[in-house]
Amino acid sequence: MTARRAKAIWNGTLKEGKGEMNFSNYSGPFTFVSRFEEGEGTNPEELVGAAHAGCYSMFLAALISGESLTPESVETTNTVTLGKDDAGPCITNIHLDCEVKCEGLSLEKFNELAQAAKAKCPISRLYSGGTAQIDLDAKLVG
């Protein structure tokens, strides 16, 4: 398969420092404020969320395609919650919200495929057994 690279550099202390993340065609700043408060820039949790949303959408589309159906759209939003446990900061919850438009897909089959994608997409599998609980709200629309 493929190997992908991403790079991050951090300069300075945790609270006063700043960093930059780079991959493919993306380059963006991140800071203590953008991660733990509200501020300009991105943070690792947003990138985790984007990666998981993209992975889930693609995997669900593949499962639907395996049923000889063509999804018009699979739109997934991911909310990643950063919290704390006894060991320190950790991702405590990942919530996927997904809407699918696909003519001919029954609600029963959709629910089965949505749950299978949640369990089997590579990013979900990466997190299984970790500190985060992964929740899913999936809707078949139109």
Q: What are 79's two structure tokens? A: 């909310």
**Which residues lie below 8 Å from residue 6, measured CB to CB, with a gap of 6+?**
21, 22, 23
Considering the chain, tell me which residue range(s) the CATH 3.30.300.20 domain(s) occupy.
44-141
According to CATH, the topology of domain 44-141 is GMP Synthetase; Chain A, domain 3 (3.30.300)
| Pairing outcome for strands 26-31 and 18-23 | antiparallel
The first and second tokens of residue 86, run together, are: 């006894």
CA–CA separation, 72 and 141 (whole Å): 10
Q: How many CB atoms lie within 10 A of CB 60?
A: 26
CA–CA dist 42, 10 (Å, integer): 13
Q: What is the pLDDT along the chain (142 residues), one digit of tens a residue?
A: 688 889 999 999 999 999 999 998 889 999 999 988 888 889 899 999 999 999 999 999 999 999 999 999 999 999 999 899 899 988 889 999 999 999 999 999 999 999 999 999 999 988 877 666 778 888 899 8
pLDDT at 123: 92
According to the model, what pLDDT value does residue 106 have?
96
Query: How many angstroms separate the CA atoms of 46 and 82, rounded?
Result: 10
Contact between 100 and 138 (Cβ < 8 Å): yes
